[in-house]
Amino acid sequence: MSAKRVFIKGNEAIGQGALAAGCRCYFGYPITPQNDIPEMLSAAMPAAGGQFVQAESEVAAANMLLGAAACGVRAMTTSSSPGVSLMQEAISYMAGSELPGVIVNMNRGGPGLGDIGPSQGDYFQSVKGGGHGDYRTLVLAPATCQECYDLTFTAFDLAYKYRNPVLILGDAIVGQMKEPVTPREALPVDPAEGGDWKLTGRGQRAPRLLKSLFLEDGALAGQNRLLQKKYEAMRAEVLFEDFETADAELVVVAYGSIGRIAKSAVRSLRAAGVKVGLLRPVTLYPFPEDKLRELAAAGKRFLTIEHNLGQMVDDVRLAVRGLADSAFYGVFPGNLPTPDEFVEPIRAAAKGA
């Protein structure tokens, strides 16, 4: 199939990516700035032979996702920050019951009701578990509309590979901007996917049970041991963009929309002869800590730029500990930064100031 480029919003790219990746159940609840996704899927999902339900709340939407995921059907919900807080209960249960599903958070400003502008204030919530208990979700952070499309494919594949919820952490910038996107060929879902655990009605086999309650002596420890092993194995999935770090004296670490804006600032400083580079984590969990440590061992300095008041910078500092530190430049939520805003902070950090 020839890939014809389309000019769409990041939000629409996620919806179209999900359809092409074989997602056939969507559950959601309206919240700005991600409404383009449920709006487009309300027509497109039934047209593709799937199911669309506008739930009564984000709580219900995430639990519908849990139910569909238990059946081994590719399923998704999307929301924005306050809504994702409400989904954390189900996400924790999905992690505990080892259910695959995709949850999209088009991050807006907080805390509380905050505003509807862009922010990266949900980093901690996304990468440290978010709900109760010891668990992790894989977290993918797109910076372009094309990545919104492509990473949605990746999200479904990873969800099934690890039987785990996968989070796509975007924001109001990448969700609302329009760019050309090259779609991929729609994927026929492997009927064998989830074949050894999904609920289908037992037929002639023994009944299956998907649960997160482990009351017997030692059973919960056993389950958590298995989960931790899985989270360790997920480290193999690390993705990042490495932009001119080889000869850089200072490496800017930034993700998502901010990573992209920071890249423009790095590019203009390069043009002015300043030796700076950019490391943009694409997976936030797993975090590219080995790459950061390698750069630290090579003597680089670091500046973490985020659209929050300092969250990922903790993970950067952990990654480079003993070898280097990271400066921090934070953009307050509710503001939309331009590349120019980052130039002076990067120049100052490059000088070691």
> For binding to other proteins (CB under 8 A), which residues are involved?
24-25, 27, 51, 53, 55-57, 59-61, 63-73, 75, 89-90, 93, 97, 199-204, 207-213
Complex with other proteins: residue 185 or 196, whichever CB lies closer: 196
Residue number, 55 or 168, with CB nearest to other proteins: 55
- Which residue lies nearer to other proteins by CB, 185 or 216? 216
Q: Are 143 and 257 in contact (CB under 8 A)?
A: yes
Query: Quick one: 220 exposed, middle or buried, by C-beta within 10 A (0-12, 13-18, 19+)?
Result: middle
Least distance (Å) from other proteins to the CB of residue 45?
10
| Contact assessment for residue 343 and residue 263, using Cβ atoms and an 8 Å cutoff | no
Structure tokens at 293: 């440590």
CA 210, CA 196: separation in Å to the nearest integer?
12
If the CB atoms of residues 208 and 229 are measured against other proteins, the closer one turns out to be 208
We find the least distance from the C-beta atom of residue 216 to other proteins, in angstroms, to be 12
Structure tokens at 205: 């086999």
- Residue (207 or 273) nearer to other proteins, CB: 207
Shortest distance, CB of residue 99 to other proteins, whole angstroms?
8
Taking the least distance from each CB to other proteins, the nearer of 41 and 75 is 75
- Please list, residue by residue across 225-239, b when 16 or more beta carbons sit within 10 angstroms of its beta carbon and e when fewer do: eebeebbeebeebbb
Residue 105: its H or E element? strand 101-107
* Closest separation in Å from C-beta 134 to other proteins: 17
The distance of closest approach from Cβ of residue 63 to other proteins in the complex, given in angstroms and rounded to an integer, is 4
CB of 102: closest distance to other proteins in angstroms?
14
For 113, which DSSP code? T
Shortest Cβ distance from residue 201 to other proteins (Å)? Answer: 4
Q: Are 346 and 322 in contact (CB under 8 A)?
A: no
Smallest gap from residue 22 Cβ to other proteins (A): 13
CA atoms in the 13 A half-sphere facing the CB of 116: 9
Minimum CB separation of residue 168 from other proteins in Å reads 19
Question: In whole angstroms, what is the distance from residue 104 CA to residue 60 CA?
Answer: 15
Close Cβ partners of 101 (under 8 Å, ≥ 6 residues apart): 65, 66, 68, 69, 75, 76, 77, 94, 159, 165, 166
Nearer to other proteins, 69 or 254 (CB): 69
24: left (phi over 0), alpha (psi -120 to 50) or beta: alpha
Between 99 and 316, name the residue whose CB sits nearer to other proteins.
99
Q: Which is nearer to other proteins, 2 or 204 (CB)?
A: 204
Are 151 and 142 a contacting pair, CB within 8 Å? yes
CA–CA distance, 223 with 229 (Å, rounded to integer):
10
